[in-house]
Structure 1
């Protein structure tokens, strides 16, 4: 056997461990060995060199003198690993391939090309014409419908351009999500809404023209009113993204302070005018004749009063009867 070996070392063939397609390994081995030698004994001896793992163990279990030529060895090898062969894809399976809703064009073309290579006997025209129906509806499928490539090479070149366009679009989208533009309109609107939600409702829709001057902070007056059951705390759910650094004890909520709460200010003024909590009112306010019931008249009431005055002024003058 040694006298039959060529002078150069045997070629390096891809390793086979018994888990891949045996036909693929045999084609690689035969192609490499054809440039090395035409001798059957040398091929049989070199056949074990690229084997490893379970495949090498199988080779060592072959009975002595069971291999008379390389063809016999190939038959034994194919039989041992026949379950590893790829099943051929039918034309119907290729036509029924569909691009997923969120599947990229690159990923789908990898599946489509892999299936097309496993079809036996189908023409390139069939592979080209079937592709538009397998793609999801959109720009790529419409472009292929409008002008189908004439060859597989032309198809691959055209699809490579579409894949590059999609990759660039995905990259720009990711960049935009990671680094949004400061002038984004939606972001600006969101900031305005948040600022509006966080703004305390002070001095809006005030109920009274004048308010009593308190000698202590409004929060102290609230505590006395709560202890005397003159007032009850209200539960107000804060809007989203509200500033929780400002807390109102009357509402048990954030977004504004107890001192700046207009609703609490009106409620306390109502109690003071009813004669309660007078110990917290400055003396000058009491001496100034703080009206217990004086409230701001509504515009409708003022309008009605004005109309009534005008109606009286327009009434015809009375004439004394001459006797």
Structure 2
């Protein structure tokens, strides 16, 4: 009710109402990330391959943001020295590492050509996994992964 009429989030929720609170929160987070990306890319060339079908234009044929692995810590991006899938391989057996909950949503609606090692499921790549990047960001903040970040001033 409080969303602007021209909001993509409102349009999405109207066309496909979420089945539960978890799905609603996931879609809101996707929208927030999409808006953040739009603001970050304002004035730059638009990203290619945006799909108008589905919830949001999140399925990109080439996601330029994934070229430099980053995580958010308190609103600040942290760049890693190596791709997140390599970091995952090196820390997956550590006591501080936690595997995620099962991905929500309808598995048949996910891209079956993409696989996330962190979720151990299809739908997105490990490099695109926001949940993994958030977890790595939390681990950096807790002091576990300082050797993996480019700038350890945080």
- Give me the TM-score of the superposition, normalised by structure 2: 0.50
Decide which structure has greater helix share: 1
Decide which structure has greater strand share: 2
| Higher RCO (CA 8 Å, separation ≥ 6 residues) | 2
